[in-house]
Every structure is written in C-alpha cells, then in structure tokens.
Amino acid sequence: MNPLTKIAQRQSEFDGYTITGYMFQFLNEPSRRGWYVTMYSPTGGVKHYWVESDQFHSVVNYISTSPGIPAYLDIGDLAEVLEAEKVAVSRAVDMWTREHDEKADVEA
C-alpha cells in the first residue's frame, strides 16, 4: 500500500455525473501526485478510480485516516472506462488541478 497525504478535496458536476476527488501526494515520492476519484452516475452507479498523468487505474484498496495521518491506497491495473465517464472525470481533474496549482502559486 502507498502512504499518501491529502492535499486537496473537490466535488463537481460534469455531464450529469457527480464527481468527488481527493488529490494525494505520495509520501515516499513527493513529486508524484494524483486523484482518488469517486464517480456517481445519473443511474445510481458508483465507480472509483486513481487518476494520474491522464491514466485511469482501478483502486484495489483505500484506507482513509484522520487528518494529519497518512491515507493508504493500493493502485490497480489500468481501468477500462466508458468514454463519457472518462471525459467527465478528465474535465473535473484538469479543472481541480489547475485551481490547486493556481492557488499554490498565489500563496508562494
């Protein structure tokens, strides 16, 4: 399992999907980060992905912890994602990452 620290949290609606995301940074590789995404479809389905460098991976196991204590995530193989879901999640992740990076630049 990979120890992670949460650095951002977002939720948005895209193309009829409700998407929640947590941006994590790897504790053992500080330059590496990605998004743990939960996607709620209009039909009631729920899917979880790890999105890093525009690649979607399955999530094998995720353990959330108290603030200040690392979370843990097992990242699986590349996931097969429906095109509409991929577009919606990619739009969300791109927007959230841009917002996070812009805020970090202002605070620096």
Query: What single DSSP character describes residue 16?
Result: T
- Of the pLDDT bands very low, low, confident and very high (cuts 50, 70, 90), residue 108 is low
Indicate the helix (H) or strand (E) that contains 17. Answer: strand 17-26
Residue 103 has pLDDT above 90, yes or no: no
Q: What is the pLDDT of residue 7?
A: 92
3-state helix, strand and coil shares in percent for the chain, rounded to the nearest 5? 25, 50, 25
- Of the pLDDT bands very low, low, confident and very high (cuts 50, 70, 90), residue 1 is confident
Q: What is the distance in angstroms between the CA of the first residue and the CA of the last residue of the chain?
A: 31
- What is d(CA 81, CA 27) in angstroms, rounded to the nearest whole number? 28
pLDDT digits (tens, 9 = 90+) for 52-65: 999 999 999 889 87
pLDDT digits (tens, 9 = 90+) for 78-95: 999 999 999 999 999 999
As a whole number, mean pLDDT of residues 6-33 equals: 94
65, amino acid identity: T
Q: What is the pLDDT of residue 17?
A: 96
The neighbouring-strand residues paired with 18 are: 13, 40
Pick the more confident residue, 105 or 35: 35
Mean pLDDT of the chain: 92
